[in-house]
Amino acid sequence: MKKIIIILFMVVVISVGINEKEHILIPDNAIRFRVIANSDSIEDQKLKLSIKNDVEKELYALISNAKDIEEARNIINNNINKVDSILNDYNVEYDISYGDNYFPTKEYKGITYKSGNYESLVITVGEGLGKNWWCVLFPPLCLLDEQNNLSNAEYEFYATKIINKFRNN
């Protein structure tokens, strides 16, 4: 009987701890990156991901060593032509917007991305009526999960570490 009570107590404590877990919030001084597909067709969604991969690779290479948000901003502003060049290779209609853009709330692997207008680089393909993909470009969280195939706990640990590093600068 004691074992059952102890086990139930532990289950309750763990459940409360999980439910009361504080969410990690991305700092307001972050730069997001978003690609919006023309439509939800399979072809348009594949195109969105292809564009995302090419642009993300270029952007990450450019800003991965940025020491603060001002440096990241300058790098992005000075290299919009490279993004434009990548998109021109796809021979599709598109729009590039760098500035304040609206994002809905999103939760990913224990991190809360609050809704609101955020500094961001947004690529809209065609009519922009399809599902979108987005991540935090600075602090550099975009490739954190894709490169390392991290569990939720590992992702939260590394994301917190990166966020805190740039929050303290």
**pLDDT at residue 58 in the model:** 92
How does pLDDT run across 25-59, given as a tens digit for each residue? 666 688 999 999 999 999 999 999 999 999 999 99
**pLDDT at residue 37 in the model:** 97
As to burial, measured by CB atoms within 10 angstroms (0-12 exposed, 13-18 middle, 19+ buried), residue 6 is exposed
Closest to 31 measured CA to CA, from 122, 113, 138: 138
What separation in angstroms does the CA of 42 have from each of 52, 127, 130, 131, 152?
Answer: 15, 15, 10, 11, 28
pTM score > 0.95 for this model?
A: no
Hey, how many other C-beta atoms are within 10 angstroms of the C-beta on 81? Answer: 8
Domain spans in the chain, listed from the N-terminal domain onward: 27-105+115-143
Non-local (6+) Cβ contacts of 94 within 8 A are: 87, 123, 124, 125, 126
Residues of the chain with confidence (pLDDT) below 50: 5-13, 15-22
